[in-house]
Amino acid sequence: MGIFSRIGDVLKANINDLIDRAEDPEKMVKQIILELQKDVNQATQALGKAMASERIAKRQLDTAVKTSADWEAKAKAALNAGEVDLAKKALSHKVKADEDVKQYQQMYDQISAQTAQVREQVEALKAKLEEAKSRQAMLVARSQMAKTQKNLAQSVGGLDSSSALDKFNRMEEKVTRQEAEAAAFAEIAGTDHAAEEKTFEQLQHDMDVDAELQRLMAEMNPTAETAAEGSTMA
């Protein structure tokens, strides 16, 4: 059972409880609808913030990807000019940019998933609000009918076994509501955030730089790779 199904059960139980205690069920039902509208507004605001965070994460990811490409282009230009050391410096920056790409990609994927979840929740809340509005007249009519039946039962002999059963049903609904609320809070509290990825050690960083250098040299000019190896041996 999903969280919004449980919210529906809680809403139904709350409405029944309010109708039992309220002198004016119509006003109470209107109040419930106002509270639902408030929840929808708050959820919509939360969705707007989530969408803004998603856009920021996307821009950060795009910037990191562009930075990586720019440093690779600079490394190629340095190799074309015979500046191997300068190319290695450029590739050092590229390796760092590639690490940023991985981190921003993970962040963007997580925020996108959360935004999609919030969007679904907003739509579900809107649907619940519309359902409550459509049921408003029926709930008021049922309340009036229940009061009439109660008064008639009391006038012909007081509470009977049916009334006792109604009490039992209300107690059962109360327990169900408490269980649903506990389960809903437990599900919401279970959301976890992924841990941030640790940065590479300097040795791994240098190895990545050398690997990028060899790859570019092999792609651009096999003779340049031979010259770089001879320079390293010297």
- pTM equals 0.48
For each of the chain's 234 residues, which pLDDT tens digit applies? 455 555 555 556 565 555 555 557 777 778 888 888 888 899 899 999 999 999 999 999 999 999 999 999 999 999 999 899 999 999 999 999 999 999 999 999 999 999 999 999 899 888 888 888 887 777 777 777 877 877 776 666 555 555 666 776 787 787 787 777 777 666 665 544 444 444 446 777 888 888 888 888 888 876 654 554 555 444
- The rounded distance, in Å, linking the Cα atoms of 1 and 227 is 67
Closest CA to 193 of 112, 99, 111, 119: 111
- Please tell me the class of the 3-189 domain: mainly alpha
- The one-letter code for the residue type at 70 is D
